[in-house]
Structure 1
C-alpha cells in the first residue's frame, strides 16, 4: 500500500556516477523513435542528477479521514481509488500536503485501479475514468507546485491487485489485459512515469511490465518497478530476491525499488544487496514500521526523524536514488526526509560500539520526550520482531543445534535449509494461532539523580516526587551507578522505562505440547518465546531512541545493535547494575501493566514468563558495566 508528499532539492547521490541513468534514458528514447514529452525527459534528467523524494502514504491517509461511506464511496466499500471521481478535492489536498513539504513526485491515487481489482466493487467499467481522473488530479497538483528550479513529477501507480498468478488465483494473461487498460489510461492522463509497485509475484510483475511497455508506445515514459520482501526474506509467493533482481535487470524497468511490508530497519539487508547487485538506479520507500495497537488504536511507530535517518543512510551508504514513504508515512515524515537530505539535521555522535565510556559529562543537548507517563502497546505484530531475533542464540543455545562436527559451509547450508525454515514456520504458526502475543508498556519521566537513587517526578507536576529507584554502586573500578548517567543540573533529565512480554498463552501451549509427548516442539516453542521477548526488548528500546530523536547513529544490522551500537544503553531489571527485587512492584506500578496481565512473581521473577523490564539511559556513555 502507499503514501502522501512534494519538492526538488539539490542533493546528489554520493560516490556514484550521475551519467548512467540519463544515458540509459536517452538511449531508450532514441532507439524507440518516439518523442518523449518534456515531463518524461525532465524526470530522467532529474534522476540522473540528484536524489528524488517521493510522497508518503495515500491509503492510510485516506483511512484516517472522516469520509461518508454512502456518498464518498457510493456504499460499495473502502475503494480509495473511487475518490478520484467522488472526492477529487480530498485527493488533491493529499497531493498538495506532500508537495508543500518538498517532495519531488507524487503517485496517482490508482493503487487498486486495475479492472480486475475494481470488479470486486462493481467498478470495472469505470477503470478508464478513475485512472484518467487520478492522473489529472496529480498533474494539476504538480503543475501548481512546480517551478523551473523544482519541477514536480507524477508517477502512475499500478498496485499488485488481489489475485496472484503463481498462487493460481488468476490467469497471467487476464492480469496482463487488466493492467493494459489501467496503464493506457494513466499514460493518456499525462503521467511522467509508470510505477509498478508492491510486486509480490514475479508473474504478476512481468504482466504489469508488459502492459506498461505497450501503453507507452505513443509516449516514451520511464517504467519503475518496486517489489516487497516479507520478513522471511522472500516475496509473498516464496520467490528469492536474487531471482526478482535477475528478471528486473533484464526487463525494460529503468529503476528498481523496494517498498512496503516492513520498516527501514527490516529492509536494511535487502537495500544493501540492491546497492551491491543492481546496475540500474535503485530506490526505497518503507512503511513507518508495522502498525501496533497502542491504547486500543492502530499506531505506526516510526518517527519522522527515524525515517529521515534511515533514508539518508541508504542514500549515502548504498547509493539509493529515489526515497519516499509507504504505509503510515505522513507529510511530517517526508518533511524530515527533505530536511535531512538537504543537510539541515544536526546529529550527536555516540561513542563507538563497545568503547569504554569517557568521563560522565553532560555537555550535550538533553532529548525531549514525546510524552510523559506510561503508554501501552496492546499488540506488537510478531513479524515486526523477527528481524530482531538473535538466530545464533535461538538455534545454537535455545534449540541446541550446534555445528556438531559439520564444517562451516555444511552448517550454513543446514541453517538455510532446515533451521531458518523451521523458525519461520513456528513463528507463522504462533502468529496464526495467537500463541505468541507480544505486548509492551513504556514511558518517559522527568528525573534527577540523588546519590545511588533516581528520583522520578509526576507527569502532571514536575516538582512533585513520584517514585525513587535504587541502584548498587561499583566498588573500585570507576565507582559507577546508573543514576550517574543522568544530569544533576537545575533542569531535570529524562528517563525511560519499559516492560515487554509475549503473554501467558506461550507457556500454556508449550506445556500442552509437552504433556502430549511433543517434547521437541515444546523446546522449540519455549526457546522461541524467550528470544522473541529479547527481540521485543530490542524493538521497544529502538522505538524509545527514535522518539527521543537519538537513533541517528544506530548500527544498521542486528549484530551491531547487540554490541550496543547505539547511543546510551539499557539495563534490565535483575542485571548486576539493577538487581533489586524490591523494585519490581514500583516499576510495574509506574508502567501501569495491569491490562497486559503482567505481575510480580515469587523468586524475583516477572510473570507471565518470559517477561522483561528495563531502564533506558540516553547518556552516550551509558554502556553495560558490572558491579
Structure 2
C-alpha cells in the first residue's frame, strides 16, 4: 500500500515537528496484557483491541507517527522469554503492522516499524547471526509497506549500527535511537561518537530513547549533535525518553532503581514537566519528539500543545483539556479557579503524597 502522506524525511527536512507515540510496553503491562521482565509483544495477536486502543489514544493526543508494537519481537527474545503460545515473531509483526496502519489511516499519521536489541548480540557477538535476525524482521515489515524504520533501545552502538546497515537495504528512511546516558554506551563509546557511527552506517535520524528521564535524554542528544557537527555530518535528531524522573541514574538507567518495575508510579512526570521537556527539545534542534516507557496519551498531548504554534494545530484531545488549565475557570471552587493560568502550573512544585518517600534512591549496578 502506497502512503499518500508526506514521508518522515520530507516532514523533517521542512522543519516540521514530528511527535512520536510511546509507552506501549508499560501501559499494556499495567493493563494486564504484557508480562513484566519479558516485555514481549504477543498482545498484538492475543489482544489486538488493547493495542488498537492505545494507538487511538496516542493519535488523538497528537502523535503523527505510530510505532508498531513489536518491541523485543525477535525470535531469540521470544524463545528466551518462555513464549509458550506458539505465536511466531512474524505473526506478531504482521498483526502489529496491520493495527498501526489501521489507526494511522484515521489521521495524518505515519507507521514506523520498530526493531530492538537482541539476546543474540550479547550471547554471540556474531555479526552475521544478529544481522540475520534484523533481516527477518525487516522482511516482515516490508510486506506491510511501513513508512520508515526505527532501530530503538540499543545499549551498544555496535549492535545498533548492524541494525541500521540491514534496514538501509530496504531503501526506506531509518531512525536509530540508543538507550544510553551522557556517559555513552555500555562499552563506553561517547554519545558523539555513537551518533557518528550511526550516521555513517546509514541512519537518517539519530537520538535517544528510554532508560532515563526527559532532560537527561536531551543532554545526551545534544552531545550526539556536537559529535556530528565536529565530524561534518548531518542527521535529524530524535528523542523519546522515559515519562519518569530518574535523576540519580547513570548507565543502566531506571532498571537499576529499587522501584523497577512495579513501584515506579511516584516518579511519573506531570504534563507540565512535559511542556518544559518539549520546549527544551525543540530549542536544542530536535524535531522528532516523543516518549517511551511511562508516557501516556496526556503526555503526548502536552508535547503537541506546547509546540502547537510550531506545528500549526492542536490535537483533537485538546478539545477536552484547555491550555494551561483554562477549563478550571468554570470550577465551582474559587481557589481552584485561581489555578486556571500558566504561571500557577509552571511554578508548582508537586508533592509526592508519600509520607515515607525518600528524595532519592540508591541505584544498583551503576
Structure-2-length-normalised TM-score: 0.77
* 1:65 to 1:272, Cα distance in 2 relative to 1, 3 A: same
User: Is 2:233 the counterpart of 1:271?
Assistant: no
Q: Is contact 1:139-1:190 (8 Å) kept? A: no
Alpha-carbon separation, structure 2, partners of 1:203 and 1:329: 28
Please name the residue that 1:141 is paired with: 103
Matched, 1:109 2:109: no
Are 1:58 and 2:24 an aligned pair? yes
Unaligned runs of 5+ in 2: 229-233, 247-253, 315-322, 326-340
Contact 1:135 1:156 in 2 (8 A): yes
Task: Indicate the SS of the match to 1:377.
Answer: coil
Query: 2:129 matched to 1:200?
Result: no
Residue 45 of structure 1 corresponds to which residue in structure 2?
A: 10
Contact 1:282 1:320 in 2 (8 A): yes
Q: How many residues align?
A: 316
1:10-409 paired onto structure 2 within 5 Å: 37-38=2-3, 42-49=7-14, 50-67=16-33, 78-120=38-80, 121-122=82-83, 126-144=88-106, 146=107, 151-165=108-122, 169-214=124-169, 216=170, 220-230=171-181, 233-278=183-228, 279-288=234-243, 289-290=245-246, 293=259, 297-299=263-265, 300-316=267-283, 318-343=284-309, 366=344, 375-377=355-357, 380-383=360-363
Partners of 1:235 and 1:311 lie apart in 2 by 24
Distance 1:77 1:327 in 2: 14
Note the alpha carbon deviations across 1:443-471, whole angstroms, 9 max, x for none.
xxxxxxxxxxxxxxxxxxxxxxxxxxxxx
Separation (CA, whole Å) in 1 of partners of 2:47 and 2:29: 14
Distance change in 2, residues 1:164/1:304 (3 Å): farther
What is the CA deviation profile of residues 279-302 of structure 1, one whole-angstrom value per residue up to 9, with x for unaligned ones? Answer: 1111111112336749x9322332
Contact kept in structure 1, 2:157 and 2:178, CA below 8 Å: no
C-alpha distance in 1 between matches for 2:27 and 2:352 = 27
The answer to which of 58-67 and 323-332 deviates more is 58-67
**CA distance in 2: counterparts of 1:286 and 1:66, whole angstroms:** 23
Quote the Cα distance in structure 1 between the aligned partners of 2:197 and 2:37. Answer: 36
Distance in 2 between the 1:37 and 1:364 partners? 43
**Any idea what SS the aligned residue of 1:253 has?**
coil
Partner Cα separation in structure 1 for residue 76 and residue 4 of structure 2 = 29
CA distance in 2, matches of 1:373, 1:195: 38
Q: CA separation in 2, counterparts of 1:280 and 1:85? A: 35
Q: 1 or 2 for the larger relative contact order (CA 8 Å, sep ≥6)?
A: 2
Deviation at 1:269, TM superposition (A): 2.8
5+ residue gaps, structure 1: 1-35, 348-362, 384-430, 434-627
1:196 to partner: Cα distance = 0.4
Measured after TM superposition, the shift of residue 369 of structure 1 is: 7.2
Structure 1 residue 312 displacement after superposition: 1.3
CA-to-aligned-CA distance 1:135-168 (integer Å, 9 cap, x gap) = 1110001012x2xxxx201111101123434xx5
For 2:231, the equivalent position in structure 1 comes to none
Kept in 2: contact 1:256–1:283 (CA 8 A): yes
CA contact (8 A) 2:191 2:227 kept: no
Cα separation, 1, equivalents of 2:208 and 2:278: 12
Name the structure with the higher strand share. Answer: 1
User: How far off its partner does 1:371 sit?
Assistant: 6.6
TM-score by length of 1: 0.46
Q: How far apart are 1:432 and its partner, in Å?
A: 4.3
SS of equivalent to 2:112: strand
The Cα of 1:39 is off from its aligned counterpart by 5.4
Q: Which has the higher helix share?
A: 2
Task: Say if 1:77 and 1:365 are closer, same or farther in 2 by CA, change over 3 A.
Answer: closer
Cα distance in 2 for partners of 1:381, 1:154 equals 38
Q: Is the 8 A contact 1:258 1:286 kept in 2?
A: yes
Equivalent-residue separation in structure 2 for 1:379 and 1:370 (angstroms): 13
- The residue aligned with 1:418 is none
Q: Matched residues in 2 for 1:84 and 1:320: separation?
A: 30
Q: CA RMSD in A?
A: 3.2
Does structure 2 retain, via aligned residues, the 8 Å contact 1:158–1:195?
Answer: yes
